[in-house]
Every structure is written in structure tokens, then in C-alpha cells.
Amino acid sequence: MKNIYIIGNGISGVTAARHLRKKSEHQITLISEESEYFFSRTALMYSYMGHMQWKDLMPYPIEFWKKNRIDLLKTRVLSIDFKNQNLMTREGQNLNYDILILATGSTPNLSNWPRQNLTGVGCLYHQWDLQKLEEYSKNIQQAVITGGGLIGIEMAEMLHSRQIQTTMLVREKEYWSNVLPLEEAQMISAHIRRHGIDLKLQTQLKEIKGSDKVTAVVTDQNDEISCQWLGLTIGVRPNIDVFKNTELEIDRGILVDAMLKTNIPNVFAIGDCAQQRQAKPGRKDIEAVWYTGRIMGKTVASVICGERTEYDPGIWFNSAKFFDIEYQVYGEISSSIQENVESIFWRHPTVEKSIRINFDRTTKKVLGFNLMGIRFRQEVCERWINQKNDIQQVLQNIRLAFFDPEFFEDCSNDFIQLANQKTGMNIHLNAGWELNNVLNFLKN
Ligand SMILES: Cc1cc2nc3c(=O)[nH]c(=O)nc-3n(C[C@H](O)[C@H](O)[C@H](O)COP(=O)(O)OP(=O)(O)OC[C@H]3O[C@@H](n4cnc5c(N)ncnc54)[C@H](O)[C@@H]3O)c2cc1C
């Protein structure tokens, strides 16, 4: 029986602990400085907006940990003596490990702006960020958010839900146009504005004003905007400062091989803090998303239990919500036009909904799906991409992909009409979306 310590109780660390327990009798301890119990970071906004209570953010009941013999330790690991396999905690405890899993997640990027430590300036990543926002935003009227990614828009929606007048400063030409294709980015920019957010594009933060509290910001367009809250949401980076100047090999993240091993024997790294030495084709070496953390957690447990497993992130997938618009992406969708990629893009004539399907211009193989305001079934899209199905086959069967069609307007005919015009094909729609058809498709 080995003594396994996991630093970080986020999705990757917790998944590793759960699978280690399923597969072994090892002694398992999860350490976190942030919270005693695992919570869903992706749902932080819903706690602020009153849709969920804090207890609802915890996916497992408190008894779960004892029942599964997973020990929890709430402390900060200050340093690690890799030679002697020893962790030193904030309280001065020395903990000896046989196997160590580093799952320390991300930390918000900061640009070292003068006065970024004023009261009323904050990020959105940790539980303590939410507490700070909760306390500080009680009696304020105006807020500014700098950064136009997924966390920035969540913070905008949170503040907006409490009637705080919010300005977003976004460096790009449109909201998230470094990730979304232009049409979708434009649609989301308009949607943000429709919600009353003052979206300032191609604008960056130049100066923070105030003495003890933030009172205003100045943009690089020399606009001065009064505010009592400034949200800094310019992205995240691996949380690895504690490993700097140690024998652990790090670059932007902790370097790992396909089995999630670091350069130090018996030390593994998973989740947002891990950087693949060799990323899979078409993938990034650091992917700070929930589902890859979960896959890494499961993989590392298998590796530690002696299985020859390699990390396989599968087909790229992400989902989010931009105020009222749900977003899903499966496979390869780029923000820039690529020579060998053809795109069928349909937008609903009156409401903010769109479907984009990308395929290879030469082979006609389908590459990716980008959906706004319409949900497609993940298993169906993944199968089409994995099986390298050609676009004609996918379009004919597109109804199989629609999720919960009974709740949405049927737009498959309009979409196919547009696809036929754009590609010169003459597609006729096959099977309907009845669950039986979907199950038969997935079975074959
Ligand atoms: C507001 C928000 C919304 C998001 N929405 C989505 C989404 O919709 N979809 C999606 O895929 N992803 C989303 N993400 C990203 C996703 O939450 C992360 O990719 C994921 O939580 C990372 O999990 P992890 O296990 O790697 O680390 P984390 O969840 O970051 O957990 C790491 C833990 O380790 C602790 N720790 C670090 N260092 C030490 C130390 N030295 N000692 C003790 N403890 C330490 C940290 O305090 C933290 O609690 C969102 C993130 C945020 C912040």
C-alpha cells in the first residue's frame, strides 16, 4: 500500500482520488488551501446570481470522503523536498509521500498594473475571489471588466444581475474574436450590448485610479470611466510558482509525458497546471478546461495502478453561456480563415442562433461544429468527426445531432437549404431526431 498525496482538490485531483480508490487500497490524501470540499468552479457565477446555494456547488455529499477513505487536508503546501519525498505545509507539518500528484490548477493572469491591489479590484477564479466580489459589490453602481474571454463575460453577467452598470474593455475587434469565427464573435458582441453592457472593443486598460479604493480607470483611448469595481479577467496561467527553482521541470506549466509523469520519479502532474511535452496533433500543450482535467485524473489513476494507459483528450469540446446564448464547439473550429477548410455557416434570420460546420475542402471530411443557441448531441458530433464522415453524409443525417428538438424550433430545413446553396449539393434530409434513430446510429 502506497501513501499518495494529491495537491489540489479541483476536478483533476478529485477524479484521480476517486479512481485510485476504485482501483486500489492506497492511502489517499487530497490537499487544498482553498476549500475543504471539492466544489464546481464552473458554477461559481450561479452562486453569486442566487441560482444555487454554496452547498449545491459541491458534487459529492460530505459523507462521501469518509466512506471512500479519502482524507482531506485544508492547508497550503509551501515547499516540496523531492529528494526526500516530503511536503512542508503552511503550519510546518512535514508529510512523507510515496507518490505525489500535482493538481494545482490555474491562477489569474495579472499585468502588474500600478494600483491593481486597491480595494475593489479583483479576479474570478478562486472561492476567495467570489467572496471578495460578494462583499464588495453590495453597494456599488459602476463596474469595469478588462478582458474579453469566458470569465470576463461571466463576471459581466454576474454584475449585471445586480443592476450594476458594467463596461467591458476588450482588446480584440469583437468579443472573443481570437477564438470565435468573426460571424459568431459579432453576434455575441451585439448580444452583450443588447444586455446593456457597455462593450468597448479594441480597448485596453491603461491606468487604475484611486488611493485606497478604485474610483476609475483610464483606457488606452484616454477615456476615463468611473467605477467602484474593476474585474481583471485577462486569462489564466498554470499555478506553479511553488515549484519554481526546484528540480521539477517546468515551462509555462509542469512538463509531463503521455503518462502524465514529470521528470521526477513518483511525481505526476494533471489538470490545468500540466503541460504536455508533446501535445496531440491539433491540440494545445496546456488546455485549461474541465473535461481534460477529468480525463487526466482518470488516466493518472490507471497509470499509478500499473496500467499502460496514455492520456487521450479525445475530440476537442467546450461549452459556455454568453448571457442567454448557449455555446458548444466540437472538433476544429478556428477564428481565422484557413485555406483548406470550407465552412457552412447558417444564422437564424431573426434570433441569435447559428450553426457552423467545417469540413476539409479536398477530402470533404467533416472537421468541426460550432453552435450558438442550438444544442447538438456530443456523441453524434464526435462520432462523425472520429469516423471522418464526409460532409454530405453528415448533412443528410443532421437531424440526429439535434438535442432536445421538442423544445426548439426546427431549423434543419433552413440549414440544409443554405448548405445546398453554398455547396451546390442536393441534400435531402434523412432520419428524424427520434431517440430510436439516434440510438441505432450510435450502436452501429
Ligand atoms: C469562473 C470560471 C468558469 C469556468 N467555466 C468553465 C466551463 O464552463 N467549462 C470548462 O471546461 N472549464 C471552465 N473553467 C475552467 C475549469 O474550471 C478549470 O479548467 C478546472 O477547474 C481546473 O481544474 P484543476 O483540477 O486543474 O484545478 P483547480 O480547479 O484550479 O484546483 C486546484 C486547487 O489546488 C489548490 N492549490 C494550488 N496550489 C496549492 C498549494 N500549494 N497548496 C494547497 N493547495 C493548492 C488551489 O487553491 C485549487 O483549489 C472555468 C473556470 C472559472 C474560474
Residues 204 and 244 in one domain: no
Residues 63 and 75 in one domain: yes
Residues 338 and 370 in one domain: yes
Residues 94 and 73 in one domain: yes
**Cα separation of 116 and 112, whole Å?**
7
Question: Does the beta carbon of 105 sit less than 6 angstroms from any atom of ligand 1?
Answer: yes
Question: Does the beta carbon of 41 sit less than 6 angstroms from any atom of ligand 1?
Answer: yes
Ligand 1 mean position, distance from CA 369 (Å): 26
The CATH number that applies at residue 31 is 3.50.50.60
Q: What is the predicted pLDDT for the residue at 405?
A: 65
Does some domain include residue 363? yes
DSSP 276-316: ESSPPTT--S----HHHHHHHHHHHHHHHTT--------S-
Asked if residues 147 and 130 have their Cβ atoms less than 8 Å apart, the reply is no
What letter would DSSP give residue 239? -
**Cα separation of 297 and 433, whole Å?**
34
Listed residues 247, 269, 304: the one ending a domain: 304
Asked if residues 231 and 246 have their Cβ atoms less than 8 Å apart, the reply is no
Q: What is the predicted pLDDT for the residue at 209?
A: 98
Does some domain include residue 310? no
Tally of domains within the chain: 3
- Identity (one letter) of the amino acid at 268? F
- Identity (one letter) of the amino acid at 363? T
Residues 431 and 328 in one domain: yes
Question: Does the beta carbon of 34 sit less than 6 angstroms from any atom of ligand 1?
Answer: yes
Q: Is the pLDDT of residue 433 over 80?
A: no
Residues 241 and 101 in one domain: yes
Does some domain include residue 116? no
Does some domain include residue 312? no
List the one residue out of 364, 351, 371, 354 whose CA is nearest residue 396.
364
Asked if residues 146 and 167 have their Cβ atoms less than 8 Å apart, the reply is no
Q: Is the pLDDT of residue 187 over 70?
A: yes
- Identity (one letter) of the amino acid at 291? Y
**Cα separation of 210 and 225, whole Å?**
12
CB proximity list for 245: less than 8 A, separation 6 or greater: none
The minimum-distance atom of ligand 1 relative to the CA of 273 is 26
Ligand 1 pocket: which of 42, 78, 88, 95 to mutate (most atoms <8 Å of CB)? 42
Ligand 1, atom 44: closest residue by C-alpha: 32
Listed residues 304, 327, 352: the one ending a domain: 304
Span 167-179, pLDDT tens digits: 999 999 999 999 9
Question: Helices marked H in 305-390 — which ranges?
Answer: 378-386
Question: Does the beta carbon of 296 sit less than 6 angstroms from any atom of ligand 1?
Answer: no
Residues 424 and 398 in one domain: yes
The CATH number that applies at residue 349 is 3.30.390.30
Span 219-264, pLDDT tens digits: 999 999 999 999 999 999 999 999 999 999 999 999 999 999 999 9
Q: What is the largest CA-CA distance in the chain?
A: 71
Span 376-402, pLDDT tens digits: 999 999 999 999 999 999 999 998 998
Ligand 1 mean position, distance from CA 417 (Å): 43
Ligand 1 pocket: which of 76, 133, 150, 159 to mutate (most atoms <8 Å of CB)? 150
Residues 101 and 246 in one domain: yes
**Cα separation of 17 and 12, whole Å?**
9
Does some domain include residue 115? no
Does some domain include residue 311? no
Residues 100 and 181 in one domain: no
Ligand 1, atom 51: closest residue by C-alpha: 42
Q: What is the predicted pLDDT for the residue at 193?
A: 98
Does some domain include residue 47? yes
Name the packing angle between helices 378-386 and 435-443 (round to 10°): 30
**Cα separation of 100 and 6, whole Å?**
6
Residues 230 and 242 in one domain: no
Torsion of CA 91, 92, 97, 99, to 10 degrees: 60
Listed residues 279, 304, 329: the one ending a domain: 304
**Stretch (H or E) spanning 218:** strand 214-219
Residues 223 and 244 in one domain: no
List the one residue out of 325, 303, 323, 304 whose CA is nearest residue 312.
303
Does some domain include residue 309? no
Count helices and strands (H / E) in the chain: 11, 25
Span 136-154, pLDDT tens digits: 999 899 999 999 899 999 9
Q: Which domain holds residue 228?
A: 121-234
Ligand 1 pocket: which of 289, 318, 378 to mutate (most atoms <8 Å of CB)? 289
What letter would DSSP give residue 338? -
Residues 63 and 24 in one domain: yes
Residue with cell 443554405: 418
Q: How confident is the model at residue 406 (pLDDT cuts 50, 70, 90)?
A: low
- Return the C-alpha cell found at 345: 455557416
Ligand 1 pocket: which of 151, 239, 248, 273 to mutate (most atoms <8 Å of CB)? 239
